[in-house]
Structure 1
Amino acid sequence: MTETLVLGAGGRIGRMLRGVWPGQGIWHARQGGDLAWDMLADPVPGQLHPDVVLNLAGVTDARAPMEHNVALAQAAWQAAAAIGARYVFLMSSAAVYGVAQRVWREDDALAPVSAYGEAKARMENAARAWQAAGGPGLTILRLGNVAGADALLGRAQPGVPVQLDPVASQRGPLRSYIGPRSLAQVLARLADLAATGTTLPPVLNIAAADVAMGDLLDAAGLDWFYGDENPAVVPQVSLDTTRLNALCPLPAVAGLPATMVAEWHGCVA
């Protein structure tokens, strides 16, 4: 397996991935991990020689400057160039697409509606400029929801029912999800492909399947109920994963709610 430097592994997704990563990784966090490094203040340590850099570092909490999403990605890019990495994966988000009811493809125009989505879109634009000036290969990963690191399962509390918006003919809104173990397998596979010189697309959507929120909560054994009719609800926001499936096909079982929940429960988070 390809030696991969995973930046920002102190976050929830990073901690999940570390528990199930199928290959050799160097796990970075500002405090702890294999590598302790303040990405925004210090130069990258010079003893590293990974083939691939995966950047998970970013800001989601509105209490921190959203522009750090750009600065952290730039630090990852500069670090990869400095240590001679062959390829860089920068983690973006499905939030760059907005919330229109549709299946989003990588070539679609972006329409973010949140400060986080707007910051990630700016990061993507900046990353393309960095690569145009020369350096490692680059793929931007637009991640959907990760079971257990999301607002639905990740914030649910036992004994406190979750309220869902009612959606005709389905059990709550439909969203694109992936389990953390499947995500680790996809990312490790992409790293292997990059290290062997496989041509990869500049942008990839990352998800396993579309899942109704009610089905996911049922699989997790969490109580839920329908709230009042909400005219503003978006019944479906989906990621097209045709490109991803051609490179990293997942078994059909990876798209089942029960599998995603089992992967979440099996992770160290």
Structure 2
Amino acid sequence: MGFPATVREVTVVLGASGGIGWVLRQCWPGMLSAEAQTRWQARRPQADAGLQEDWVILDPLQDPDGLMQALEGADQVLCLAGVVPGRGTDLADNTHLALAAIEAAAQAADRSGRDEGAARVFLASSAAVYGAGSGLLREEEPVRPTHAYGQAKRDMELQALARGQELGVPVCALRIGNIAGLDAILGGWRPGFSLDCFPNGQSPRRSYIGVRTLAQVLAALLRTPRLPPIVNLAQPGTIDMGDLLRAAGREFALQPASERAIPEVAFDLTLLQKALSQKDMPATADAACLAREWAVLEPDFHALHLEGSERP
């Protein structure tokens, strides 16, 4: 398996069968330049894969040679591959997959003798690394994850950034806020759903981003020549989860928040704002806009799932 290195702006998306990958496959056509080429990786064929020549089917942890070949000629790698709690998987695979991407990028550059050096690797990290941190959460401040998933993502960041520096591979970890529709609130809503309610009458507030806005910002970041090693990714402001469900027309009940519940997770977006042009910086989050972005994609998302394919 080999790919030509002559096409400009080649992006390889690892873990393209996941939720973010599915969103990018719906939204990126028309967003990326005509010169851009995207290769999508999954461990098994996808029902909605479209042009099969754009896909690479392999297990990154079991086929390092295949992964290296898939990255030949790539300008950037968007590593969305990872694991989440509750599915009988090893959370340490978040680190293993990130390291596999970085090492494959270095090997592909060595093999092809690219003058530009190794492809830049973007990693999908999470707000979970911040734990119960208060105030505006900044990338450069110490973090204290409060559960295993947040710790696993923090371990991934630390080991991946160190390995990238060692191998000369540029690495940027994107701490992505709640994605409206791929989250546990709007995306996880079911009849009888309940939200925590704090003494001030509010439900939890979080930094959010809409699905189409996420695709636009990721496309812009891929075009950005220089980025810090860690960048918060969300729309400005925070969203009350109750307001989001109301905007989407979802009924829910309120329950008293436990002592361990976190009232607010709010990103400082200074680094994102510095990295993006004014045109590319997303607008302040609005519950109605977030709900509308998801409403456009939601029917196809659920239809694909009901057809029995691997859930994105």
1:81 aligns with 2:106: yes
Identical-pair percentage: 40
Decide which of 255, 259, 267 is 1:239's aligned counterpart: 267
Distance in 1 between the 2:259 and 2:186 partners? 24
Gaps of at least 5 residues in structure 2 are 1-7, 50-54, 110-117, 302-312
Question: What is the identity, as a one-letter code, of the residue corresponding to 2:229?
Answer: P
1:56/1:251 Cα in 2 relative to 1: closer, same or farther (>3 Å)?
Answer: closer
1:29 aligns with 2:56: no
- Does 55-64 or 232-241 show the bigger shift? 232-241
Distance in 2 between the 1:105 and 1:30 partners? 35
Q: Does 1 or 2 have the higher relative contact order (CA < 8 Å, sep 6+)?
A: 1
Q: Is the 8 A contact 2:198 2:256 kept in 1?
A: no
Q: Is the 8 A contact 2:172 2:228 kept in 1?
A: yes
TM superposition shift of 1:266: 2.3
- State the match for 1:204 in structure 2: 231
Question: What is the identity, as a one-letter code, of the residue corresponding to 2:40?
Answer: W
1:235/1:131 Cα in 2 relative to 1: closer, same or farther (>3 Å)?
Answer: same
Question: What is the identity, as a one-letter code, of the residue corresponding to 1:147?
Answer: A
Q: Is the 8 A contact 1:8 1:55 kept in 2?
A: yes
Question: What is the identity, as a one-letter code, of the residue corresponding to 2:69?
Answer: G
Q: Is the 8 A contact 2:106 2:167 kept in 1?
A: no
1:49 aligns with 2:73: yes
TM-score (norm 2): 0.79
- State the match for 1:187 in structure 2: 218
Distance in 2 between the 1:251 and 1:13 partners? 17
TM superposition shift of 1:233: 3.0
Please report the RMSD computed on the Cα atoms of aligned residues, expressed in angstroms.
1.9
Question: What is the identity, as a one-letter code, of the residue corresponding to 2:271?
Answer: R
Gaps of at least 5 residues in structure 1 are none
Q: How does 1:1-269 map to 2 (within 5 A)?
A: 2-21=9-28, 22-23=31-32, 24-32=37-45, 33=49, 34-42=55-63, 43=65, 44=67, 46=69, 48-62=72-86, 63-84=88-109, 85-157=118-190, 160-169=191-200, 171-193=202-224, 198-209=225-236, 210-228=238-256, 230-248=258-276, 249-252=280-283, 255-267=285-297, 268-269=300-301
Q: Secondary structure at the match of 1:250?
A: coil
Question: What is the identity, as a one-letter code, of the residue corresponding to 1:101?
Answer: S
Question: What is the identity, as a one-letter code, of the residue corresponding to 1:224?
Answer: F
Deviations 1:32-68 (A, max 9, x none): 2511111010021526422100100001033101110
TM superposition shift of 1:169: 4.7
Structure 1 stretches of 4+ with a deviation exceeding 4 A read none
Q: Is the 8 A contact 1:170 1:212 kept in 2?
A: no
Q: Is the 8 A contact 1:28 1:37 kept in 2?
A: yes
Distance in 2 between the 1:181 and 1:225 partners? 28
TM-score (norm 1): 0.90
Question: What is the identity, as a one-letter code, of the residue corresponding to 1:257?
Answer: A
Q: Secondary structure at the match of 1:255?
A: coil
TM superposition shift of 1:180: 1.4
Q: Considering only CA atoms, is the larger Rg found in Structure 1 or Structure 2? A: 2
Q: Is the 8 A contact 1:178 1:255 kept in 2?
A: yes
Deviations 1:151-184 (A, max 9, x none): 1111112xx1421222355641100110111111
